[in-house]
Structure 1
Amino acid sequence: MTALDGAIVNVALPQIRNELALDGTDFKWVAAVYPLTLASVLLLGGRLADTIGRRATLLLGVALFTMSSVGCSTATQGGTLIVFRGLQGSGAALIMPASLAVLSHDLPPRARNTGFSATTAIMATALACGPVLSGVITQHLGWSWLFAMNAPLGFTSLLVIALAVPRHARGSRASQTLSSTVSIRAVVLACLSLAAVAYCLIEGPEIGFASLPVLISGVFAVMSAGGLWCEMKLHRSVALGILFRQRPFTGGIITQLLWGLGVSGVYFFTSQFLQNNLGLRPTSAGLAFAPVALSVLAAAPFIARMARRWGDGRISATGLLLVALGLLLVALGSTSGSFVHILPGLSAVGFGSALAIPLTTRALESSPRHMSGIAAGLFSAAREASGVFGIAFVGAIVTFVQHAAASAGAGPAGAFLSGYQAGLCVASALVAAGAPVAVWALRCLPNAEDGDDPSLVWFGEDRQ
């Protein structure tokens, strides 16, 4: 639900704008408010998962997401839709860290790679099929059904969570004391800082980075980040220090940022390339991403076996290099003017992303059980923030080269193609830089297949 809702709205935006008579500002915020609130509230979701429990946070997040989806489907004004979309993002921000924490600490060790593989495959499928599903539903049923369909999914999820997820409450008293060093003030400051940075990146390209709202937001982001630093120094940053002293977690955060910086921006601009340069309709352009999802689905069942045979570090590094190669193949194939020639590159991106799954698994396993929520929240926040940064950074490369090509006499299509290919090359370099980080992060790790909880191996804690 969370991945699908981030992908399905874009195709439906023209119909939403016409039916609700949105002005330029409201139209922009309908699309932007969901990722903005999602990125901003993720750390709070992780904090709640560690304090009130993973199961309770997951139930709360799904309930909020479902009710706000119903509100979106019944909205008759732009302001109402924006408010409920923001609540949707907040619900998703509770769901993501809590669900990742459940996968990393409530599944048996031998099932964790399979669990993360299934989650990655489902998210990739949602992202790939979202535009196609949005086009079909919007054309035949109307945009409100995009949100209404979350109601039965949400109620089913609540039932499954209530029956299947263990009733874990809180850790030991020592665990709670350690987790409490991540204070509510620190979480709020982190949320405000992320929100301000996201606002700058989303609004900057539209209204100008030198505009007053963006400048004020930038100053606010710096002040919030400064306050967060002081708060962490005041509390000696014990909890976060424990997390970031672990190579798997630190390496996972770094590689996630590099992967998101590269792939997220490319995903966004590839959709424009397919429609503007190749002339595909929105539904067909969405269908063009199916090879990515199919590649992840094909590779996911074999990841655990491959990791046991060749090691998590080698498999993850190979996956990142394969993603980088796939981006270069897309750049090479884009010159042909045919979608068929970029299929190998898109398939390589999917296979490579699947091979990098062990990095996520071991990064989250390395956190102690009582900090699994805040660890998953940090990991998810890095992913969402890297997506926003990726669109902005790769977009800046695309725009700069596009303008340079246009000044040299290239036509609109040719200028965009030049910028798009330059963006692909930069994105490939960013993702490839994560390969040595993956090898460093996952070398000489204790084997989780023996039934031990990796957090107990790393931290020497008593089993709860």
Structure 2
Amino acid sequence: MSAENPSAAAATGGSARGWTLALACVAMFMLMLDVTVVNVALQHLRETLDAGFSDLQWVIDSYTLTLAAFLLTGGSLADRLGRKRVFSTGLVLFTLSSLAAGLAQDVLTLNLARGVQGIGAAVLFSVGPALIGNEFRGADRGKAFGVFGGIAGLALALGPLIGGLLTDSLGWRWIFLVNVPIGVIALLIGLAKLNESREQVPYGIDWLGMITFGLGLALLVLGFLRAESSGWTSAPILGAFAGGVLLLVLFVVVELRRGEAAMFDLSLLRIRTFSGVCLATLLSNATSLAAVFLQISYVQNVLGYSPWETGLRFMPMMITLFIVAAITGGALASVQPGVLIGASIAFIAVGMGLITLVEPGSDWTAMLPSMIVTGIGMGLFNPPRAAITIGVVRPEKAGMASGMGETFQQVGVAVGVAAFGALFHHKVVAAFAASTAGSALGAQAEPVGRTVAVSGTGALAQAVPADSLAGVTDAARSAFVGALGDVMVWCAVIAAVGAVIGFVFIHRRDLHESARSDAGAPTAPVAA
């Protein structure tokens, strides 16, 4: 296959840049929206499909598992088979599986559809930044990633609002069906407007690497997802962790033997900036997303707001995130990337620490300082994180680098939510059992404490006698707020470690020349 004419390619690429950014943002909006809207509809799903607690867990977990397992695979395949082709395939998978989920008549069909939806999401997550990186250079690339990061934050904010609106007005099926017309339109535009680009290589697909990495990561993520409910030292969980580690070790051995034919270039890990941004991403997402989920639980389960009302109250954080992300994109060309990454995670750490201002009798407005400062940090973080991850490699390998960066991001979320969720659960139960009202319940103190950790104070009326409800509610609220503050302090400390990594390890000198160039025009894409 011959390369196209460079000047013609550059002209075509210039006209396609806006479409590329728009489609990547639309895909990201759908994906981030899908992360949050499902949580709003779980109660409706349980009633409609007669689903049990384990079934509802799999509605979330099946998507999370396949999403994490296929991120690196999707990026690597895009580099070899063509980013436009693989991105379009991801859109098809995500759209068709959304249709299947929306039409599901039983929970098994829904969970299978969610698993396929996770595969499509993984492809879009990993290929979207690579498409942007292929079309944009220098300062323009930074601005593009600023918009891209802002849209992701906006989708995260609107998720509960849109999910609550669709579920209440049209039914839970529409949280999936709404993706279908958007996906079809995006697919048609992508086929017509996107440029094709890929790495010209003489070797085929690394099937063994794909299998060992995907299965290994899926087992690790499954262990973290189910450890709290099954027991961290139970045989299934220990088996999942052990199997995941063994498969990932085998993956490293396979990749070392395949050399240039490997799906992941292990030499990237020797680049301080790449390793630094991956570790910073892991720690940032493990803490910030866990913090947001726990804060949402507080607003809904303790303060008693509906999903719609909760979403409205988190808008200050997400609007701040959107504005800061858009502004940050323009600073990537002039500010050292390590300074941006380090400062962003430092803001996140300070923001999580400010949650200690919340007291048992506080209203939601006590969270505003934490929301605003955390939103600044998250807005600062996303644009440089995405740009640096693909910036350390030549454009032909952007998909692989993006896939690995997104893998660290999603694994961070899974590990953080599981680990900090378990710590929060333990602290709530211990604090409630040690309270005067808890001690008066005797053997029922721990079961009631577990109810408080999961459902807040809203479910206490069915769990305790009416004459002790007021005292138990006060003790439960104090235990919940105290545990939230303690866990947020731990999150802040660990995030601070991520900030130090950002300041020390990430340097512009490690970036590929295409990422350091100030030229606004893209180089010619490689023709398929």
TM-score if structure 1 supplies the norm length?
0.91
* Higher alpha-carbon deviation: 310-319 or 82-91: 310-319
Q: Which residue of structure 1 aligns with residue 116 of structure 2?
A: 87
Q: Which residue of 238, 251, 256 maps to 1:228?
A: 251
CA distance in 2, matches of 1:313, 1:230: 31
In structure 2, the CA distance between the partners of 1:420 and 1:91, relative to structure 1 (3 Å rule), is: same
Give 1:125's aligned amino acid: L
Q: Which residue of structure 1 aligns with residue 486 of structure 2?
A: 422
Give 1:392's aligned amino acid: A
Is 1:191 the counterpart of 2:259? The answer is no
| Deviation for aligned residue 1:334 | 4.8
Q: Which residue of 350, 353, 365 maps to 1:325?
A: 350
5 Å matches for 1:62-461? 62-168=91-197, 170-173=198-201, 183-235=206-258, 240-335=265-360, 337-356=362-381, 357-409=383-435, 411-445=475-509, 448-451=516-519
Give 1:269's aligned amino acid: L
Give 1:380's aligned amino acid: E
CA distance in 2, matches of 1:90, 1:343: 36
Q: Which runs of 5+ in 1 are unaligned?
A: 456-461
CA distance in 2, matches of 1:404, 1:78: 35
Give 2:293's aligned amino acid: F
In structure 2, the CA distance between the partners of 1:276 and 1:56, relative to structure 1 (3 Å rule), is: same
The DSSP-based 3-state class of the residue aligned with 2:136 is coil
CA distance in 2, matches of 1:343, 1:272: 16
CA distance in 1, matches of 2:124, 2:248: 25
Q: Which residue of structure 2 aligns with residue 31 of structure 1?
A: 60
Indicate conservation of the 8 Å contact 1:278/1:337, yes or no: no
CA distance in 2, matches of 1:225, 1:444: 30
CA distance in 1, matches of 2:159, 2:295: 15
Is 1:11 the counterpart of 2:40? The answer is yes
Give 2:247's aligned amino acid: S
Give 1:216's aligned amino acid: G
CA distance in 1, matches of 2:372, 2:91: 32
Give 1:193's aligned amino acid: G
Indicate conservation of the 8 Å contact 1:261/1:387, yes or no: yes
* Higher alpha-carbon deviation: 240-249 or 184-193: 240-249
In structure 2, the CA distance between the partners of 1:233 and 1:16, relative to structure 1 (3 Å rule), is: same
The DSSP-based 3-state class of the residue aligned with 1:450 is coil
Give 2:280's aligned amino acid: T
What do residues 322-356 of structure 1 show as CA deviations (whole Å, max 9, x unaligned)?
11111111232355511111112111111111222
| Deviation for aligned residue 1:463 | 12
In structure 2, the CA distance between the partners of 1:85 and 1:396, relative to structure 1 (3 Å rule), is: same
| Deviation for aligned residue 1:433 | 1.3
The DSSP-based 3-state class of the residue aligned with 2:503 is helix
In structure 2, the CA distance between the partners of 1:220 and 1:442, relative to structure 1 (3 Å rule), is: closer
* Higher alpha-carbon deviation: 1-10 or 405-414: 405-414
Indicate conservation of the 8 Å contact 1:186/1:231, yes or no: yes
Give 2:88's aligned amino acid: L
Indicate conservation of the 8 Å contact 2:73/2:210, yes or no: yes
Q: How many residues align?
A: 453
Give 2:161's aligned amino acid: V
Give 1:195's aligned amino acid: A
CA distance in 1, matches of 2:291, 2:434: 24
| Deviation for aligned residue 1:95 | 0.8
The DSSP-based 3-state class of the residue aligned with 2:265 is helix
What do residues 95-121 of structure 1 show as CA deviations (whole Å, max 9, x unaligned)?
111111111222233221122111211
| Deviation for aligned residue 1:263 | 0.8
Q: Which residue of structure 2 aligns with residue 458 of structure 1?
A: none
Instruction: Give the superposed CA RMSD.
Output: 2.5
What do residues 209-257 of structure 1 show as CA deviations (whole Å, max 9, x unaligned)?
3444334323322331232233234335875233222232211101100
Q: Which runs of 5+ in 2 are unaligned?
A: 1-29, 437-474
Indicate conservation of the 8 Å contact 1:366/1:454, yes or no: no
Indicate conservation of the 8 Å contact 2:149/2:326, yes or no: no
| Deviation for aligned residue 1:452 | 8.9
The DSSP-based 3-state class of the residue aligned with 1:200 is helix
Indicate conservation of the 8 Å contact 2:87/2:123, yes or no: yes
Q: Which has the larger radius of gyration?
A: 2
Indicate conservation of the 8 Å contact 1:261/1:430, yes or no: no
Give 1:300's aligned amino acid: A
In structure 2, the CA distance between the partners of 1:224 and 1:259, relative to structure 1 (3 Å rule), is: same
CA distance in 1, matches of 2:280, 2:521: 23
CA distance in 1, matches of 2:326, 2:310: 28
CA distance in 1, matches of 2:177, 2:196: 30
What do residues 235-283 of structure 1 show as CA deviations (whole Å, max 9, x unaligned)?
3587523322223221110110010111121111111111222222222
CA distance in 2, matches of 1:163, 1:440: 44
Indicate conservation of the 8 Å contact 1:38/1:90, yes or no: yes
The DSSP-based 3-state class of the residue aligned with 1:230 is helix
CA distance in 2, matches of 1:335, 1:236: 57
CA distance in 2, matches of 1:234, 1:454: 35
Indicate conservation of the 8 Å contact 1:249/1:367, yes or no: no
CA distance in 2, matches of 1:444, 1:114: 17
CA distance in 1, matches of 2:73, 2:388: 23
Give 1:263's aligned amino acid: S
Give 1:253's aligned amino acid: C
Give 1:171's aligned amino acid: E
